[in-house]
Structure 1
Amino acid sequence: MTTSLLHEELVFLDYKAQENEELLKNLATILNHKGYVKTSYANAVISRERVFPTGLNTLGVKVAVPHTDPEHVNKAAILVAKLSTPVRFKEMGNSGGDVDVQLLFMLAVTDPKEHLATLSKLMSIFSNGDKLLDLYQSDTKKAIINKLDEILA
């Protein structure tokens, strides 16, 4: 992952939402208004989440990694949102269980190969509960970006 995917304007420290579709729609709208994604991104990411959920029951902090096909993206970016209260997502895989997500990484990726590489690098963070908790406890946008850069270098 390169720094070019991370932008302070796409890091939210205390984001409020009641449920996951509202959260996804609102965050997709932010990405759209800033020119990162097309208007079709919101419906596409919500539809994909229903079929292929992205909630991860990770150690320390529960995460979700909503994303959709590159055709809905104008320029690559990662939106990071620390949620003020957990939002329930379905767990990735076949369990059908719920995950109360506290940290969300919304991916807008234009290249499928880059998409897989980005997901793989993010998964390396998710498998380390200490690093994930440290990232979640960051209190500035710059700190989050710096920690992600450091972890993913």
Structure 2
Amino acid sequence: MEVYLHEELVFRDLDVKDADDALGYLAEQLFEKGYVKEKYIVAIKEREKEYPTGLPSTQPAVAIPHANYELVEKTTLAIATLKEPIEFHNMEENAATLPVQIIIMMAIGEPHGQVEMLQKIVGLIQDEPLRQEMVNARNNQELLKLVETAIN
């Protein structure tokens, strides 16, 4: 599965107050730029409540929110690094929270695409120096390049 990453969906040093705020902002960007249907914005927040997407790892931790493929117009990823880490619930232990500083929002328009994409993203997640580089990226192009290299 080919992933099309776009600089217009890369957000460095995003300043948000909580997970809900971050999810709303990224989903809104995806919608405004024509990648997802409007319902995606609500769906991604609802899904996060039921199935948290914070991945347990060393810092900086990653969250990988996504919603139903039927709400996606064009497959892509929205990528954000956060100015300050925010709490996301832990995917493996829902009651626990993790300080997340990287969000990779998946907008995958195929039923089986999410699993494939997750496998690509796992490599990135397991690479602590890479995550550190992402957080330290000086501009959106640099951040985009790091992610592209990791998943393609």
Structure 1 residue 67, shift from structure 2 partner: 0.3
Q: Could you say what secondary structure the match of 1:83 adopts?
A: strand
Structure 1 residue 18, shift from structure 2 partner: 0.6
1-structure distance, mates of 2:23, 2:49: 11
In structure 2, the CA distance between the partners of 1:3 and 1:94, relative to structure 1 (3 Å rule), is: closer
Structure-to-structure mapping, 1:1-153, within 5 angstroms: 2=2, 4=4, 6-153=5-152
Tell me, yes or no, if the aligned pair for 1:2 and 1:149 is still in contact at 8 Å: no
Aligned AA for 2:19?
N
Q: Could you say what secondary structure the match of 1:84 adopts?
A: strand
Aligned AA for 2:35?
Y
Structure 1 residue 95, shift from structure 2 partner: 4.8
> What is the aligned-residue identity percentage?
30
What TM-score, normalized to structure 1?
0.92
| Structure 2: runs of 5 or more not aligned | none
Q: Could you say what secondary structure the match of 1:112 adopts?
A: coil
Aligned AA for 2:119?
S
RMSD: 1.4
2-structure distance, mates of 1:95, 1:23: 19
Q: Indicate the larger mover: 128-137 or 9-18.
A: 128-137
In structure 2, the CA distance between the partners of 1:150 and 1:41, relative to structure 1 (3 Å rule), is: same
Tell me, yes or no, if the aligned pair for 2:72 and 2:109 is still in contact at 8 Å: yes
